[in-house]
């Protein structure tokens, strides 16, 4: 018996990295998981991992999962993925918005198309998905919404570090907006018994994306394993919605806090 038995979870950006780890962890704890991303077949992305592989891993471990392809930049895809997840697994209890498209480019050189795409996927996408799942959660009497953020949401110090000057401003803007959305929505949904939180790693997690952008390496001793984020996500998506909500949480700090309680 897992702590998510009987729950239905949607996890976006779950073909690889943090999203895939969260989806597998939720599956281990009994959730029926809708594994969502764009990559359906190997070789169609420059990065390894597909939603079929993640869903297959959950099923191989004895869990329940369905793979749903969706482009989170498209409103019609967001609506379809929630409808398909509901038809296949039931009304969602949990939404984890992890999908991201990221360009590290200085403001001087940022194109309008890339700017809009980042906000479409990382800000508007989580906003719209929350709107779509909230009525069902409210009808059930509880729910959990988790938005995956980053330390990039914090303001840079001056004089700046080399990382701050390399072109992470738009990424930080997206994550800062996502965190303010999370706390605001938590307040709005408090009386509906729906928890809303944002979660970031304490250190950079080695994923295909972070390694590609030279943020870390696969063997970086100072990096954070994806399993730490998955465990923190599990705690945020299983606790009493009135007790653990409205948090801008950091994975290791959160787990240490809960261990001491």
DSSP labels for 131-199?
HHHHHHHHHHT-EEEEEE--GGGSPPPSSPPTTTTSS-HHHHHHHHHHHHHHHHHHHHHGGGTEEEEEE
Rounded Cα distance between 107 and 115, Å, is 10
Which sequence positions are flagged as catalytic?
A: 171
- Angle of the 125-140 helix axis to the 75-89 helix axis, nearest 10: 30
Chain centre distance of CA 151: 14
H-helix segments, 100-141: 112-119, 125-140
Q: What's the burial of 160, exposed, middle or buried (CB within 10 Å: 0-12/13-18/19+)? A: exposed
- The CA-based diameter of the chain, rounded to the nearest angstrom, is 53
Cα–Cα distance measured from residue 231 to residue 29, given in angstroms and rounded to the nearest whole number: 11
Q: Which residue has the tokens 């508007």?
A: 124
Q: Residue 248: which H helix or E strand, with range? A: strand 248-250
């Amino acid at each position: 018996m897992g702590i998510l038995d009987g729950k239905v979870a949607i996890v976006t950006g779950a073909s690889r990295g943090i999203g895939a780890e969260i989806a597998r962890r939720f599956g281990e704890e009994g959730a029926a998981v809708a594994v969502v991303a764009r990559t359906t077949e190997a070789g169609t992305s420059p990065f390894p991992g597909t939603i079929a592989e993640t869903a297959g891993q959950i099923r191989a471990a004895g869990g329940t999962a369905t793979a749903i392809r969706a482009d989170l930049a498209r409103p019609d895809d967001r609506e379809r993925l929630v409808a398909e997840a509901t038809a296949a697994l039931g009304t969602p209890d949990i939404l984890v918005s992890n999908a991201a498209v990221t360009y590290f480019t200085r403001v001087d050189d940022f194109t309008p198309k890339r700017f809009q795409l980042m906000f479409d996927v990382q800000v508007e996408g989580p906003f719209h998905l929350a709107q779509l799942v909230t009525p069902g959660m409210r009808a059930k009497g509880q729910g959990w919404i988790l938005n995956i953020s980053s330390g990039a949401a914090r303001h840079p110090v001056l004089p700046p570090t080399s990382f701050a000057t390399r072109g992470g401003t738009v990424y930080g803007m997206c994550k800062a907006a996502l965190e303010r959305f999370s706390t605001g929505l938590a307040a709005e949904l408090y009386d509906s018994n729906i928890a809303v939180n944002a979660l970031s790693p304490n250190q950079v997690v080695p994923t295909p994306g972070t390694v590609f952008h030279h943020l870390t390496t696969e063997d970086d001793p100072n990096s954070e394993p994806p399993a730490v984020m998955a465990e923190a996500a599990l705690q945020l998506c299983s606790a009493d919605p009135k007790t653990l909500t409205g948090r801008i949480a950091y994975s290791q700090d959160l787990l240490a806090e809960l261990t001491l309680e």
